[in-house]
Amino acid sequence: MSDYSIAFISNEAVTRSYANELLTEKWLGSFKVASSINSKRLENFKIDLCLIDTSKNFESFNDLNDFCKNTGMKKIIIFHSENNLDKLKRHLKNQKDIIIFRKVERISSREFFKNQLSEIIKVFNPSSQQSFMDLGKVENSISYDLILLGASTGGPEALKQIIGELKPNMPPILLVLHMQPEFMVRYCERLQRITKLKVKRFIGHEKVVPNSIYIADGLNHMEISKTGSDYFLNRGTDEKVKGHCPSVDVLFNSAARIKKSNLLAILLTGMGSDGAEGLNSLKNSGAFTVTQNQETSEVYGMPKAALEIGAANCVLSLEQITKILSLQEN
């Protein structure tokens, strides 16, 4: 990974200037900063990660698909405005597996791209021990107050793999799984047989405690709040959100409203998009967010939806997620 290369493309001179400044200071691999995807500066330059700013006056939509298809890039992050995402997706045919879309937030361009580039450098820099997994190892040194999990199709087996490896002295774990209520009791019993943590089917208001896994019961939404230094689960409504009750989004959004908390949120395999918006809210509130990768997801719906809106700090395999959580300590 020592030769891992990055290209930053923007037709905004000011944006290019501070991107070049930040990459020069902190990026240890090779990089190029260019004004266009057709720039001669990019000729014969092998690009592993490409960052493309399309948020202002971008005019190369017709060339974008060929550029993304033919350069052999491993990952592309496209920064878009509030109004041009649909147009981008129409032009980027069959390229979605390697593309992450990130909306340019309504703060100063300098502040936005400084934050984005700092995060990207942290993840991809050759000095960052090579991969998304190593970023997970770094973040693992944080003592999290809560761990939040969301899953749907493929989730029961994925969660068995994760939970079976967890050791005592864990922070509280909150889990929303799309499963019919009549199967939930038996599933909780199955999980209890493979872990020393206490598996609890959430049925009402209660304080969460370490070494416990709280699973939404399938009848009502599960929400989390904080009073003083204590966290409490609260029973929500039974109205479906995005076709689901319980909903991952409901849990994640409730957690995002909590101030001054260290939270780890993970969105696992599943059909649809439940959890994507909530994961994005958590990321914006300061939580560390993870999605399961495509290769180990039974259905790559929910994690993919989260990636497309830039909701994940990193993407990990199920094995890597399991390793991160098995190393956690309360």
List active site positions.
Answer: 152, 178, 274
d(CA 97, CA 112): 25
263-267 β-sheet, strand order: 198-202, 212-216, 173-177, 146-151, 263-267, 288-292, 314-316
CA-wise closest residue to 23 among 111, 121, 101: 121
* Helix, strand or coil, per DSSP, at residue 13: helix
Which residue blocks in the chain are alpha helix, DSSP H? 13-26, 61-70, 85-91, 109-124, 132-139, 155-163, 181-192, 248-256, 276-285, 302-308, 318-326
Query: Burial letters for 124-150: b for 16+ Cβ neighbours within 10 Å, e otherwise?
Result: bbeebeebbbbbbeebbeeebbbbbbb
φ, ψ for residue 229, nearest 5 deg: -100, 5
CB 174 within 8 A of CB 222: yes
- By CB atoms closer than 10 A (0-12, 13-18, 19+), residue 290 is buried
| The residue type at 70 | N
φ, ψ for residue 162, nearest 5 deg: -70, -55
Compute the residue count for the chain.
330
The token duo for 50 is 């490409």
DSSP annotation of 43 = T
